[in-house]
């Protein structure tokens, strides 16, 4: 029950957010206004042990369309990423048919948010890739 309530409240928060330019939260854009982010990611369980890491390559268009690729740390395969951005609020699905749905806040070139994997709540963090 609490999982459904949390998801409903989060969905309401995104729906009630005022419409602002999609790339307001992104600091670096190309000449066409498209943002390209290359990020290291962490999925950290809120309860218990475990960790999932990987890399995330995103493009964000001026109208807020998010596309890209996610690759787990184990290098097993690439997964498509699709989503959207409204102001600093970002959401995206990783994997076929939305295997993992992440919602969060984009601040420049960092993303902080959360997701469920199975019935477990995970914190999500994406930071610029270290060279």
Q: For the segment 90-131, what is each residue's pLDDT rounded down to a tens digit? A: 999 998 666 899 999 999 899 999 999 888 899 999 999 886
The 3-state secondary structure of the chain reads CHHHHHHHHHHHHHHHCCCCCHHHHCCCCCCCCCEEEEEEEEEEECCCCCCEEEEEEEEECCCCEEEEEEEECCCCCCEEEEEEEECCEEEEEECCCCCEEEEEEEECCEEEEEEEECCEEEEEEEEECCC
Q: Where are the domains of the chain?
A: 2-128
pLDDT tens per residue across span 22-69 = 455 666 777 788 999 999 999 999 988 888 899 999 999 999 999 999
Q: Does the pLDDT at position 18 exceed 80?
A: no
pLDDT at 97: 62
Record: fold of 2-128: Lipocalin (2.40.128)
């Amino acid at each position: 029950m609490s999982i459904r309530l949390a998801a409903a409240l989060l969905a309401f928060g995104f729906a009630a957010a005022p419409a602002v330019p999609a790339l307001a939260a992104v600091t670096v854009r190309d000449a066409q206004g498209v943002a390209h982010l290359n990020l290291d990611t962490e999925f950290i369980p809120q309860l218990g042990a475990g960790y999932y890491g990987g890399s995330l390559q995103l493009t964000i268009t001026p109208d807020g369309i998010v596309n890209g690729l996610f690759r787990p740390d184990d290098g097993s395969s690439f997964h498509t990423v699709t989503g959207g951005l409204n102001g600093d609020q970002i959401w995206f699905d990783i994997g076929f048919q939305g295997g993992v749905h992440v919602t969060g806040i984009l601040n420049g070139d960092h993303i902080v948010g959360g997701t469920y994997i199975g019935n477990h709540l995970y914190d999500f963090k994406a930071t610029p890739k270290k060279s």
